[in-house]
Amino acid sequence: MSDPLPPPPPPSPDWAWFLDVDGSLVDIASTPSAILVPDGLVGLLTALSARHDGALALVSGRAIDNLRRLFDPFHPPAAGLHGLERVTADGRVIRPQQTAGLDDIRARLMAFAGAYDGLILEDKGLTLALHYRQAPDRQQEARRAVELAVEAHPGIRVMAGKMVFEVEPAGFDKGQAVVDFMAEAPFAGRVPVFVGDDVTDEWGFRAAEALGGISVLVGPPRASAARFGLADPAACRAWLAGGGET
């Protein structure tokens, strides 16, 4: 068991915010479509963004289109699919073409997930996610199925998250998304603050720290590059509220 991390300092006006969603801003649900955006969260983020001159981006494993639906009418800059796609503050959409081999992997994993109750294959278009939250006893089988599906496609990698195996093109991550945002207005010149909960957020933690910023792990203590910690999404929202006060 890792020692608890100290709480982060009070929000400062010169910060640039990079916020993961599931497990950080909102509680993780049994399925990706079952999450609930708490009352007041959209207003909190809107106020936080305004107070920091628009320097707030969502950085999530979800697709950008999904993020827009969840947080409508608040549409901040965002990095989706763990940094594979990005919408800048001026509305530019940066998104690669589908990686060769993904169709083959999709077909293999659809057949695998369909053979077992509780396994869910989430098709995000440019990436895939095999969830086993409802069938935790299938973890090793799911891992092996994903590894076998991608082994013939060297340009595609597997990332393990909380009860999920993510399948996505290599060469993209949340840390690079932070670096790219920090080179653009309105983020440039500010102190980057990355908030996340999962192992896929470690790239974001390291990028923020390398740029002289702050990294915050949400959830139970674990080995992490983050310097600060918050107990759960409710504690995270309470902390963020301090930066959105008018």
Q: Give the C-alpha separation, 177 to 153, whole Å.
A: 24
d(CA 194, CA 237): 14
The Cα–Cα gap between 47 and 172 comes to 30
Element (H, E) at 193: strand 191-196
List, as one string, the DSSP characters of 66-93. HHHHHHTT----EEEGGGTEEE-TT--E
Set 3, 14, 20, 198: catalytic member: 20
Residue 104 annotated as catalytic:
no
Instruction: State which H helix or E strand residue 180 sits in.
Output: helix 174-182
Catalytic residues: 20
